[in-house]
């Protein structure tokens, strides 16, 4: 289903379903919120990058409660969980989002699966999704943790939570996720839960394990497209962004100008345009516009599981605010990330990153309050980010590399 269709269903079907679900749950499936966490389910369906940002919270849950970790995610986003392997593959349940019927079928399958797995704790990482509220409320968990709006207007999704955590839009989303784990350790009925300070050190990521065999396979794929490659410096350009928020895309003409500047200043650098297989044509057009002999269309050449090997080989990546910027954070490769509708204060990657952000009065225009749907049709916030501003960050990184 399209993203807007899912938002429509979540609002107009989700609100009445959450209202009915609250009544049914209180009468027939009441939860005490006092069970010792043993089988802990994390729910994050829609964002691949958020699956990485949630990793410190998952590791803290395993460390402090010693329980088994489970994860629920859309099928197309599952590969992101394999980058760190925090959750066993057999403990991951996927839901298809390609059609309404498959969504309903997989929802029913999940509710049966969750009870078979004896899920006692559900942690809903989504920002006020009614669909995930229903999933966490009826999965059989005794502890149900999620964001609650309290006296704020709108964002209604019933009253099925046992641990209501106040979403804080002034701290990084990874700290908000940590707050959910802290809520499980509080003895009293918090209003709201998680009155704790979360230090920056708590949201550090583990690094991915990368085999030399995987690195050699990536090198061979590079040589097939650029025979002259002998192990020199590589700069990656990731010009795309997910369909969830296309306003995050910096103009292709600006990427072309940036590529030319990099090529002219750094004669030893090979530039690879990365992306999914569906983006190959767009990447090819960018290569033609950049007109650099050391710029190669690398879109569609790797599976997501191979990206960390590519990142370990590369010196730098320039990217829109999207999943690959977060995938890179599990390696030592630095990134320069261009922000517009989102703010790096909340969504910067947890790796070695340099955000470039104009900070206009209208930005960020997406938030939990509008379910990350902006009315903007003219992303001036990204056009305000100049090629020179991004190139300046690239120079700093490459001169020091």
What is the rounded distance in angstroms from the CA atom of residue 123 to the CA atom of residue 332? 29
Strand partners, 337: 319, 355
Element (H, E) at 354: strand 353-357
Q: Model pTM?
A: 0.91
Q: 201, exposed or middle or buried, with CB in 10 Å at 0-12, 13-18, 19+?
A: exposed
Output the pLDDT for position 9: 85
Token reading at 253: 């003409």
Domain regions of the chain by residue span: 3-203, 212-400
Strand partners, 4: none
Question: Any idea what DSSP says for residue 374?
Answer: -
Do 96 and 109 meet the contact criterion of CB atoms below 8 Å apart? no
Task: Give exposure, 202-234, as e/b (b: 16+ Cβ within 10 Å).
Answer: bbebeebebeeebbeebbebbeeebeebeeeeb
SS3 148: strand
Q: 123, exposed or middle or buried, with CB in 10 Å at 0-12, 13-18, 19+?
A: buried
CATH class of segment(s) 3-203: alpha beta
pLDDT by position in tens, the chain (length 401): 777 788 888 888 888 989 998 898 888 877 777 789 999 999 999 888 899 999 999 999 999 998 899 999 999 999 999 999 999 999 999 999 988 999 999 999 999 999 999 999 999 999 989 999 999 999 999 999 999 988 887 888 988 899 999 999 999 999 999 999 999 988 777 788 888 899 999 999 999 999 999 999 999 999 999 999 988 999 999 998 666 677 888 999 999 999 999 999 999 999 999 999 999 999 999 999 999 999 999 999 999 999 999 999 999 999 999 999 999 999 999 999 999 999 999 999 999 999 999 999 999 988 888 888 888 888 899 999 999 999 999 999 999 87
Q: Which residues contact 53 (CB under 8 A, 6 or more apart)?
A: 173, 174, 177, 326, 347, 350
Which CA distances in Å does 286 have to 163, 260, 261, 313, 340? Answer: 49, 11, 14, 23, 21
Do 233 and 315 meet the contact criterion of CB atoms below 8 Å apart? yes
Output the pLDDT for position 14: 86
Query: What is 212-400's CATH superfamily?
Result: Glycogen Phosphorylase B; (3.40.50.2000)
Output the pLDDT for position 241: 65
170-173-179 Cα angle (round to 5): 90
Do 142 and 33 meet the contact criterion of CB atoms below 8 Å apart? yes
Say whether 212-400 and 3-203 share the same fold: yes
Q: 297, exposed or middle or buried, with CB in 10 Å at 0-12, 13-18, 19+?
A: buried
Q: Which residues contact 6 (CB under 8 A, 6 or more apart)?
A: 97
Token reading at 148: 């609650």
Strand partners, 296: 272
Q: Where are the beta strands (DSSP E) in 167-213?
A: none
């Amino acid at each position: 289903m399209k993203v807007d269709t899912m938002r429509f269903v979540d609002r107009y079907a989700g609100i009445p379903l959450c209202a009915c679900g609250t009544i049914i749950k209180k009468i027939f499936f009441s939860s005490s919120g006092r069970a010792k966490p043993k089988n802990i389910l994390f729910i994050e369906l829609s964002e691949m990058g958020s699956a990485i940002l949630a990793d410190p919270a998952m590791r803290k849950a395993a460390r402090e409660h010693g329980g088994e970790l489970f994860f629920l995610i859309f099928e197309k986003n599952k590969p992101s969980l394999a980058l760190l392997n925090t959750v066993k593959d057999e403990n991951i349940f996927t839901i298809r989002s390609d059609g309404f019927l498959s969504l309903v079928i997989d929802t029913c399958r999940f509710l049966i699966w969750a009870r078979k797995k004896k899920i006692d704790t559900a942690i809903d990482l989504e920002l006020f999704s009614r669909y995930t509220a229903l999933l966490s409320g009826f999965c059989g968990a005794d502890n149900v943790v999620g964001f609650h709006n309290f006296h704020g207007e709108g964002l209604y999704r019933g009253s099925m939570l046992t641990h209501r955590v106040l979403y804080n839009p002034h701290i990084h989303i990874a700290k908000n996720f940590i707050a959910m784990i802290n809520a499980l350790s509080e003895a009293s009925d918090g209003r709201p839960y998680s009155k704790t300070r979360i230090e920056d050190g708590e949201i550090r990521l583990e690094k991915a394990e990368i085999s030399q065999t995987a690195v050699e396979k990536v090198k061979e794929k590079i040589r097939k497209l650029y025979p002259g490659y002998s192990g020199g410096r590589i700069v990656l350009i990731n010009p795309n962004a997910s369909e969830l928020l296309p306003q995050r895309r910096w103009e292709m003409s600006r990427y072309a100008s940036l590529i030319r500047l990099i090529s002219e200043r750094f004669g030893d650098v090979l530039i690879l345009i990365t992306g999914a297989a569906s983006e190959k044509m767009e990447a090819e057009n960018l290569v033609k516009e950049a007109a650099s002999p050391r710029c190669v269309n690398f879109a569609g050449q790797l599976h997501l599981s191979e990206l960390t090997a590519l990142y370990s080989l590369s010196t730098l990546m320039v990217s829109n605010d999207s999943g690959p910027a977060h995938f890179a954070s599990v390696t030592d490769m630095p990134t320069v990330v261009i922000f517009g509708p989102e703010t790096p204060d909340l969504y910067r990657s947890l790796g070695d990153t340099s955000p470039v952000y104009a900070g206009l009065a209208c930005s960020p225009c997406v938030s939990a309050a509008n379910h990350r749907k902006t009315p903007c049709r003219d992303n001036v916030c990204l056009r305000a980010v100049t090629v020179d501003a991004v190139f300046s960050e690239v120079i700093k990184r490459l001169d020091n590399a």
